[in-house]
Homo-oligomer: A and B are copies of this chain.
Amino acid sequence: MLTLRTPYLVFLGDEADSAYAKTGIGLAYWRPDLCVGQMRLSDNAADTGLPDQSIHEAQAAGAQSLVLGVAMIGGAIPAEWLPILVEALEAGMDVVAGFHTKLSSFPELVAAAERGGSNLVDVRVPPADIPVGTGQKRTGRRLLTVGTDCALGKKYTALALAKGMSAAGMSADFRATGQTGILIAGGGVPLDAVVADFLVGAAEKVSPDNAPDHWDVIEGQGALFHPGYGPVSMGLLIGSQPDAFVVCTEAGRDTIRGWDSFSTPDIRDVIARTIDIGQQFNPDIRCVGISANTRHLDPTARADYLGALEKEYGLPAIDPIATGVEPIVTRLATEFGQ
């Protein structure tokens, strides 16, 4: 697995649009314990609520890495960022990013990292030497979020579940399989960038052996019925060996986003295929809930929609933002014990 040096200083540049600063905002929201502060180059920049700090102040507060929490447009690092990143690297802090353009393609940064004995960390790049999958069962419990499509809340659901399970006194960790998740978790494997033969092996590394009552809550990727990304989901399902899974969906999304000639699958078919593939590696696999993105529904329609799902599937159906994940946490505690 990739492992990041924490805690972080979250860098936001002068990005005023919170949509482009969502990585930094998400970090501060989900893992305030991993963030010592934020650095903003303008008073108009997005504000995570963390204390504003210089490199020097962040380092005094213990920061080990500067995380680029904003999108980089067009593949170039803005000129005003460079001296700051160089200062952090020379001071011995790692610089961490999830850009398409690799940090190591900027010679100034490579030279500064050499001087500081620090690292340029691209969380889109899988670690070297990932093994082939073994299929051997690991200790501890695992929950995987799966989806009827991509980009409808699998990461958010996993984060909310891990937080809710911990709050309920269960031993639980979020496990990351994508770049933003890796920053939040402080480590993980960017599954979509792994070479095909090593996909299952990479998924196995994400949730290693653990205590018998410990839950790894694993961020799903892709969707089993997705025309482009189905194999990534299959590799993650095989390697995760989940005891439990939650199906994530979006109310009203009838076609696969970007593949509009394909209908989204029935939740029933997603459950059936997930069990069909997963039971070879964990005979006890079961669905424990449905997590629906209902942002386009008003409260009455939301209650009707979730109620209908609960009735049809005999499972808790929630919106992690609008209603919270507690019913699924309760179901887990009831079925598996604390």
Contact = CB atoms under 8 A, between A and B. Distances in A.
Interface string A196-227: 11011100000000000000000000000101
A19 to B, nearest CB: 23
A229 interface: yes
Contact of A196 (B135, B136, B235, B280): B235
Contacts of A75: none
B227 A135 contact: yes
A235 B224 CA distance: 11
Contacts of A134: 227-228, 259
B200 A196 contact: no
24 contacts: A132-B228, A132-B229, A133-B227, A135-B227, A135-B262, A136-B261, A191-B196, A192-B195, A192-B196, A192-B197, A193-B195, A193-B196, A193-B197, A194-B195, A196-B199, A196-B232, A196-B235, A200-B229, A227-B238, A227-B281, A230-B234, A230-B277, A231-B232, A231-B235
A276 interface: yes
A199 B233 CA distance: 12
Which of the four size classes fits the interface of chain A? Answer: 20 to 34
Contacts of A229: 132, 197, 200
A232 B197 contact: yes
Given A134-B228, A231-B234, A232-B231, A195 B196 contact: yes
Given A135-B259, A191-B196, A196-B232, 5 more contacts: A134-B259, A194-B195, A196-B231, A197-B229, A262-B280
Interface in A117-147: 132-136
A200 B196 CA distance: 11
B235 A197 contact: no
Contact of A238 (B135, B194, B231, B276): B231
Given A192-B196, A196-B232, A231-B232, A225 B135 contact: no
A115 interface: no
Contacts of A193: 195-197
Name, among A196, A238, A280, the residue most crowded by chain B CB atoms within 10 Å (CB to CB): A196
A273 interface: yes
Contacts of A225: 280
A261 to B, nearest CB: 7
A193 B200 CA distance: 14
A98 to B, nearest CB: 15
Nearest to A191: B196
Contact of A197 (B228, B259, B261): B228
B231 A200 contact: yes
A147 to B, nearest CB: 15
Contacts of A280: 225, 227, 262
A296 B275 CA distance: 35
A338 to B, nearest CB: 31
A195 B125 CA distance: 11
A206 to B, nearest CB: 14
A195 B232 CA distance: 10
Contact of A135 (B261, B273, B277): B261
Contacts of A132: 228-229
A200 B234 CA distance: 13
